[in-house]
Amino acid sequence: MIQNDEQLKAAQQAIFNLEKVLLEARKVHSAEEYRSMSEPILLEIQQREHEILAYLSATTAEVSAG
């Protein structure tokens, strides 16, 4: 769970990096290979996006309370 702005930035950077991996993988793998290898990465992106949205939707008091 994201608890501060630094962790938010790290999560955003992680998503960016994972997306870059997928874009490059799509160029070199067959469709079947890409689907297989991209699934866990896409799930990781989805989880991180969920954490980002939860952090951004919380008030300052809620974030401070932990």
Written as six digits, the tokens of 32 are: 């079947």
pLDDT at residue 61 above 80? no
pLDDT, tens only, 11-48: 999 999 999 999 999 999 999 999 999 999 999 999 99
Written as six digits, the tokens of 61 are: 């008091």
pLDDT at residue 64 above 80? no
Give the integer Cα–Cα distance in Å for 44 and 54: 15
pLDDT at residue 51 above 80? yes
- Residue 61: which residues within 8 A CB-CB, separation 6 or more? none
Cα Rg of the chain (Å, integer): 15
Q: What is the pTM of this model?
A: 0.87
pLDDT at residue 59 above 90? no
pLDDT at residue 65 above 80? no
